[in-house]
Amino acid sequence: MIWSPDGRYLAYAGREGRQSVWGALNDQLYVCDLKTGVSKSLTDSEDFCIAAATLSDTREAAFGANLQWSKDSSRVFMGFGWHGEGHICSVSVGGGPIQFHTKGQREYMLGNFSRDGAKVALCAGDSAEPNEAYVGTLSKKGLEARKLTSFNKDLLEELEIAKPAMTWIKSASGTDVQVWVMKPASADRKKAPAILEVHGGPHAQYGVPFFHEFQVLAASGYVVVYSNPRGSKGYGEEHCNSIHGSWGAADWEDVEAVTAFMKKQPYIDAKRMAIMGGSYGGYMTNWAIGHTDDFAAAITDRCVSNLVSMSGNSDFPLVPDTYWKGNPWSQPETLWDQSPIRYFENVTTPTLIIHSEGDLRCNVEQAEQVFTSLKLRGVPTRFVRYPQSTSHGMSRSGPPDLRIHRLHQILGWYKIYLKNGK
């Protein structure tokens, strides 16, 4: 929340009715007029969530609203995530349509306004360039941004940076799913192995921000495919809320559609495809290896494997009969039916497991269950554990040496099971 410069209004993010601790529902912008004591939503007429939730491994995820007032207290500015992009928007305190001040396939992150209100600090970047600092000036044409820094210019000129192509596909139910494909240079000469990345959240989104991990994989000769299946932010509340309390259904249907799309591409070797993801992406990786043999390898990172046990050892406790129906002590059926480990009877996919012992969101025992199950079933597996000092966000905010170590573990696994075709 944030006070207006004139002290009359208080702007804040929230929603009325059913609450969603997982963020499946749209947060709206409210303004309370301290003169009248009346609060009203300024964004309830449009299907946007006032939180970007657009992921990158060059910064922490931004799931909360970022609000700023204009100097004259007439408008509230905020950041929106939409179709994988990040934009700066505003709305009048008196109501009316949301105005977009930026456009294009980029990510803009809102900072503070100058004292006179004429300029605004922001960061901006895209899939080929990490965010840099800009100063913006508002005009009738939009926001004119002037670049202040080029910290990575020399390095980017030395490296082979892949630029993804974006497309849309149809899922089995007719749902439109946005997909990005990042091709290595070698993919134009021969069929290449491919990796499907599934994002965490689940109520977040992949898109245009720079992703170091994707660039490392592409530079190593892999086609990297990523998408926003149902459950993702950035496509309206229905798309996001469609997996509320029902993981492994509509979301899995969309992941299967992306997998089918990958198989059809002439530059992808369909016999050398892998799936990987972290957090909920790890959940979906675990779900995939229990439901298909499409993938020659898998990597499950900071994963969820058993919703019943997770309900009691996460810093995000599963409150009975809220997001999921039932509870772990007397009505565990829904949680167990949606737990990937329930379907490990027929797993054959070689799987690398990565987890931090200091992960309070998805406790390391979630990974231990996967490792034990795969070992007992004779499935090729390896368990890489990082120390108690690392957290759920190690891949994006952990110590640089351990982040590099993690990437080497990933490349080593794929070298065995994708490049060498073991």
pLDDT in tens, 224-253: 999 999 999 999 999 999 999 999 999 999
CA angle 361, 363, 367 (to 5 degrees): 125
Give the strand pairing for 85-92 and 67-69.
Answer: unpaired
The answer to whether residues 63 and 181 belong to one domain is no
Residue 316's pLDDT is 85
Q: Point out the catalytic residue in the list 279, 305, 314, 373.
A: 279
Confidence of residue 61 (pLDDT cuts 50, 70, 90): confident
On whether residue 187 sits in a domain, the answer given is yes
Q: Are the beta carbons of 348 and 298 closer than 8 angstroms?
A: no
The answer to whether residues 255 and 389 belong to one domain is yes
DSSP 39-101: EEESSTTS---S---B--SSS----S--EEE-TTSSEEEEEEEETTEEEEEEEETT----EE-
CA–CA gap between residue 417 and residue 350 (Å, rounded): 8
On whether residue 183 sits in a domain, the answer given is yes
Whichever domain contains 112, its CATH number is: 2.130.10.120
The residue with tokens 């990297």 is: 224
392 as an active site residue: the answer is yes
On whether residue 158 sits in a domain, the answer given is no
Residue 17's pLDDT is 74
Determine the structural domain holding residue 108 and report its residue range. Answer: 2-126+129-153
Question: Please, what is the end-to-end C-alpha distance for the chain in angstroms?
Answer: 54
The answer to whether residues 185 and 135 belong to one domain is no
> How many domains, in total, are found in the chain?
2
Q: Point out the catalytic residue in the list 101, 203, 239, 392.
A: 392
Whichever domain contains 235, its CATH number is: 3.40.50.1820
Give the strand pairing for 165-170 and 176-182.
Answer: antiparallel
Range 406-419 average pLDDT: 97
The pTM of this model reads 0.96
